[in-house]
Copies of this chain bind each other. A is one copy, B any other.
Amino acid sequence: MSYQYEHDGAEIYRQSFAMIRAEADLSGLPADVAQVTVRMIHACGQVDLVRDVAWSPDVVARAREALHAGAPVLCDAQMVAAGVTRRRLPKDNDVICTLNDPRTAGLAREMGTTRTAAAMHLWGDRLDGAVVAIGNAPTALFHLLEMVADGAPRPAAVIGIPVGFIGAVESKDALAASDLDFLVVRGRRGGSAITAAAVNAIASEAE
């Protein structure tokens, strides 16, 4: 038994990206943000995602420069880290998630916050010039903003696309109101797949 469907992976990508470019209204986006948005749309199957995408003017350029300089990708969730395609990274960059570090649970209790927020303190100086990818927890994004405001090293760019019903909208609005270079999807939508797709698009322009 066999079904009729496209079997060639490269051709599936080509057709998918062509369909997205035909259906999505990318006219209001700078070229580099549009290229990233196409891949985010690919990850969620919804061309209307474009209306919720917001960015600081230099975010894609800054994040690309950072990756080409060897900066790590710091992720709030294992799924985000798992979704970053290693062969797209220009310098075999480290992709780091400290959520399952043995120190994280104790630190969370001590700080009175979520494990996700506590895990970010284990990034230490690696935050300096890093590409931060937050695709799961609003608490992580809020806490990153607090850490930077309180003197932590500044990342090169923050891809802040947590998903959900409690704090997601507000945390992304707070990032967009900060002085960090940012890419967000406003509203409740987001998540690890869209976030990893954004990192993958920034890492390489290859479609």
Contacts and interface: CB of A to CB of B under 8 A. Distances in A.
Q: Copy number of this protein in the oligomer?
A: 2
A78 interface: yes
Given A115-B9, A142-B5, A15 B163 contact: no
Interface string A1-29: 11101111100100110011000000000
| Interface residues of chain A: helix, strand, loop or mixed (majority) | helix
Nearest to A188: B45
Interface of A: 1-3, 5-9, 12, 15-16, 19-20, 42-46, 78-79, 81-83, 112-117, 138-139, 142, 145-146, 149-150, 163-168, 170-171, 174, 187-193, 196
9 contacts: A1-B149, A6-B166, A19-B165, A43-B163, A44-B163, A45-B190, A79-B82, A82-B82, A191-B191
